Chain A
Amino acid sequence: MPADLLPRVASGEPRAAEELMDRYGALIWSLARRHSRRSADAEDAVQEIFLALWKNADRFDASRASEPTFITMIARRRLIDLHRHKQRRPPTEGHEADLETLTDLRSGDIEVKAEAKLASRALGTLKPREREVVLLSTYQGMSHSEIANHVDMPLGTVKTYIRRGLMRVREALEQPKQAAEGAT
């Protein structure tokens, strides 16, 4: 398993930044493309995400999350902020996923960490409708009201499903850490 790069980035090692681009550039590009309306917007987003990574590298805590998950979190923060600033939501055209057949994927570039698998497994315990709502929110980047319109569901129900889904994933991610702490 390759060593984490963010601690070296945090220490100011320029070579580590190059390696970070090599290791996670495709992931960040994929996230940006899926969450952006136009290619130009995606490119701007990628630059802003990497800048946020350089600035927040020292916040990475391997005991709380894997490096890919932390980087995805930072990327999502920037993408959500950019979308709110532009006051429009990203379309799904061109990147629309058939949620019926969406399966967890293993990247050819990076290893999908254990917690991504835990997340996928936790979502699998939800009812199909709940899982769909959670994926429309997190994966497709739709707002809660957009989802409510899209699936013809009360907004309150959408919020409840998303909260339930995230809490289930959150609990699934916490369990290995709690088990490790109990063992020490």
Chain B
Amino acid sequence: MTEAFADTADLLDLVRESIFVRDLEGRILYWNKASEALYGFHRAAALGQDVATLLHTRYGVPLESITAQLHDTGRWEGEITRRTVSGEDRQIFARWSLRPSNTSGPATIVESGHDITGRKQAEQALGNSEYRYRNLFQAMAASFWELDFSAVGQMTRKLRAAGITDLHRHFSENPDIVREMIRQTRVVDVNDQSLALFGGGDKAVLLQSIEPFWPDASSMVYAESVVAALSRKPNYAAETRLRRLDGHEFDVLFTACFPPESLARGTLLVGVIDISARVRAQAALQKLQADFAHAARVSMLGELTASLAHEVNQPLAAIATNGEASLRWLGRPEPNLDEVNLLARRMVADARRAADIISRIRSMASRQVQEKSALPLKAVIEEALLFLRHEMQGQGVMVSLDLASDLPPTLGDRTQLQQVVVNLLLNAMQAMAQAGAARRMIAVTSRLSSPDTMQVTVEDSGPGIADAHRAQLFDSFFTTKDAGMGMGLAICRSIIEDHGGQIWVDAAAADGGARFSFTLPALSQG
């Protein structure tokens, strides 16, 4: 039998496809080189063997239907599984041809086949991946949207063609164009969480323009995401407010993702996360911090009550005395009006002085919401010193100042920054008083420590900070004062950090006292 195929054998051995011939019972009559390579059986081992047994053939469809088709049409092709000599299963795409019996011999079946295992595996992986993606998209806890923005793409191409290069600026200046882009962006698909978050009972309700979901105030965020997409950025994220179907607006983290394949199709993927709870928590935290800072200020005022009261009494006493003197001058047979005039002027000045002191106290005690404005640091420090002037005098504290007069302003809340300076000064005074220091000196300096940073330092001649305490100094509830609560420095730190600066205690000052410094960013003159 082998000789019958000898002539074509060479030819068939050059063919890369596995080709073999078997009789109707399945016995292998011919086996080409490619078959050897595919199944690992040498010709000698294959010839005469039953192919189904040798190769453990498994069919995806019933063998009867295959056989029927083969006999009906003379052909069959399909995917089958076979095992190689090493025991490995391979997926084979096989084509069978029935060669009817003729003068040379009985009917035979010619099979050609090639290994599609790799391809099958890739298909499977892709199928799995798509399955996972579908699952993720559907079930994710974030709201996902697939948007069609091909119309927007056309609009931007027209703008580019019209010579607009700075899209960002063009959008800022033309909000109506942005609204139109929003109108023309359509929802292709959403996941379950989107329905839950945006209030749609049926998915179909959300498959429309995104316009109802975008409040006017959030338009620029949309514009920026378009600019990001067109600048070939991989993604874009921003906090903004979106709108439910029932009109209720809420805070979200909006993320858009622009995989190149999707962009080419004109779609992009959007994720929306509801951050209302977080925004509320942040607002509550800020209020709490403001309340704490206020409480600390009131506490400081409490400590200063005696000296503040004394300070207000001085101008009041002067006014009373001047008033009495005026009455006496007026009560003379010839009233001395020049003298009275002078005294009246002094009374007005004294009244103003009293009013200023009261105003400083009120400002320090105020509970108002933080208000940042451009502040000259020198003035803030000088006012803080003024606040404590009387107390310092009373304790015999000498202050030396080295304040740079050409510092740029800083963006800050006047009351809060004064609170920090007053707190540091008060700490210094109290430390020196507690230690019974004979020489009580505080040095306050301010300077530019870098082109955009200012540094203020408060150094005292007190006993200094013990090494053991240094690390805990700014912790809440840490105090070395006899009757301290330990919140002052913790609050100072939160105020300074909120202003974009740092506060720290230096290693021992020149003469063993404590040295505290804080920095504040210079307001860039834009």
Judge: A and B partners, yes or no: no
Mark A residues whose CB is within 8 Å of B. none
